Amino acid sequence: MRQGNYGNSLSSVQMIAEAFKAFVKAADAVEGRVREFMSTADRMMKDPQLDSRRIRHEIDETERRWTTFYNSIRNYGAALADSAKFFEDWQAVSVCQLL
């Protein structure tokens, strides 16, 4: 798995997190389209004139790829949250050291 950029300060993490939220909204919209595609393919499989094995294969492959992609989005979001927590804690420790 590739290492991502999670920011190098609390403010940079917060900016990345805002952009990431917009990206997740777009991915959620695409997920709706993917589910719609899979539903259409399921209906097509009921047509005896079509190659249902090939359609099933395409549905399974699409779902596998989408799941992999969406899991990577969730993993990045978790790492981004961890990065924000790290910098928040770092700031708190830095303030305590000054006292």
Q: Where are the alpha helices (DSSP H) in the chain?
A: 10-45, 52-98
pTM for the model stands at 0.69
**13-50: pLDDT as tens digits:** 999 999 999 999 999 999 888 888 888 888 888 888 88
Domains and CATH numbers, the chain: 10-98 (1.20.58)
With CA atoms as reference, report the closest residue to 32 among 8, 72, 78, 66: 66
Q: How far is the first Cα of the chain from the last one, in angstroms, to the nearest whole number?
A: 41
Top-confidence residue, 52 or 72: 72
